[in-house]
Amino acid sequence: MPSPTAPSRAASSPAVQGLPLHTRSLTVSVARISDLLWRARGDVIDLRKNGFVPSNYDLQPSGIIHMMSIELDFDRDTLMIEEIRVDQPYVAVEASEFTKGECCRDPAPRLLDLTGEKLDDGFAKKLSLQFGGALGCSHLLTLFQLMASTVPRAVELERVRSKRENTEPRPGERFFRRSVFVDGHEQSGDLTDVAVQLADTHTRPLQADSRVTERLALSHEVKTFASIERKRFTIERLEVRERERTFETVGSAQWVDHSELVSSLVGARIIPGMAGRVFKLMGGDQRERPILDNLLMFAPGFIQITAALMDEYFENRAKASNPDAAERPAVADLGGNADSCYMWRVGGPIQRAWVSQTTDDPER
């Protein structure tokens, strides 16, 4: 791995600008339930801040687009999943006559079949086979992938801390939380600025007569700032910064600039193929895992951001006497990619209706 450049206190300064478009929030918390049974909860929320999208014979306005959660009860020692619970209060596609009664919640029971599996190095592949593409929901898949990476890290951090300090969390007490925020901003007609912020917060049990801040065992942050070219989805700028703090160093720890580490990604497309390029670049070095996890949230978050860029599409269509001849931005593909999820599977009611709609009547 290339050596990081010198620490800089200015490394966390704002590095994105423009009109706020979309925020994706992903959080994973881990708590002790009993001596052996621990619980992880993951949540994903997509909040569109700009425009609206024609979708499924309706207009999908700004606001909450997705709100979904997964809860896992697992064995602390073996990481075997004992129980899985899924909730989806907000989904993009509800059941209707147009969808032939189908909705985004239909694939969720497939996740329950992963009960009994271990959250080990082979779990990600099993998850993709069980729930990837046309078999599942891309948002739940992204969330579960993040949980599968987060839980082993949280367990190992707590194992080391509890052995060193000879204390354990109380039953029901959360001791770890990972937060990831993906924010998109329209910088110009050619560029979209994206920030991905990951923060791991590991805490110890609060002792009598101690300050709340003394609960901090570790704060590990990774911030990524990028500019994406709108037409080809290429990365024009990419900066990565990292900081680790403990209670003792909370006011003195410095940011480290890792932009050199990811410089080979500049000029590459964010979609498709970002995940493969990131895995190839970062390898299996667990010391870089938080940076890897930050970068893996980049592409799925950016896909959500593009839906908030529809104004340019409508403006170009209005200017053209022949809509098909207009210079259409990449976001003009309003529907999901074929087989990107269960609702957009080839041969499904939405995919069939969308192909018919966009082919026969582009103004609808």
Element holding 295 (H helix, E strand)? helix 289-296
- Whether 14 shows a pLDDT value over 70: the answer reads no
Q: What's residue 321's pLDDT? A: 55
Q: What's residue 3's pLDDT? A: 46
- Give 85 or 313, the one with higher predicted confidence: 85
Name the pLDDT band for 4 (thresholds 50, 70, 90).
Answer: very low
| Whole-number Å distance between alpha carbons of 280 and 283 | 5
Q: What's residue 363's pLDDT? A: 43
Quote the tokens at residue 33: 């339930």
Quote the tokens at residue 81: 């999943």
| Whole-number Å distance between alpha carbons of 335 and 321 | 23
Specify the amino acid at residue 245. R
Count of residues in the chain = 364
Q: How far is CA 346 from CA 68, 334, 354, in A?
A: 24, 16, 11
Name the pLDDT band for 339 (thresholds 50, 70, 90).
Answer: confident
Instruction: Confirm if 240 and 222 have CB atoms less than 8 A apart.
Output: yes
Q: What's residue 5's pLDDT? A: 46
- Whether 10 shows a pLDDT value over 60: the answer reads no
Range list of H helices, 68-190: 109-112, 123-131, 138-165
Range 221-242 burial, b when 16+ CB lie within 10 A, else e: bbbbbbbbbbeebebeebbbbb
Quote the tokens at residue 364: 């609808």
- Give 347 or 115, the one with higher predicted confidence: 115
| Mean pLDDT of the chain, nearest integer | 87
The torsion angles phi and psi of 257, rounded to 5 degrees, stand at -90, 120
Nearest to 24 by CA among 54, 68, 87: 68
| E-strand stretches of 249-352 | 255-257
Percentage of the chain modeled with pLDDT above 70: 87
pTM: 0.88
Interhelix angle 138-165/289-296, nearest 10 degrees: 160
Name the pLDDT band for 129 (thresholds 50, 70, 90).
Answer: very high
Per-residue pLDDT of 226-255, as tens digits, reads 999 988 999 999 999 999 999 999 999 999
Name the pLDDT band for 202 (thresholds 50, 70, 90).
Answer: very high
- Whether 332 shows a pLDDT value over 50: the answer reads no
Q: What's residue 324's pLDDT? A: 54
Name the pLDDT band for 44 (thresholds 50, 70, 90).
Answer: very high
Q: How far is CA 226 from CA 81, 189, 229, 274, in A?
A: 36, 16, 10, 14
Name the pLDDT band for 340 (thresholds 50, 70, 90).
Answer: confident
Q: What's residue 162's pLDDT? A: 96
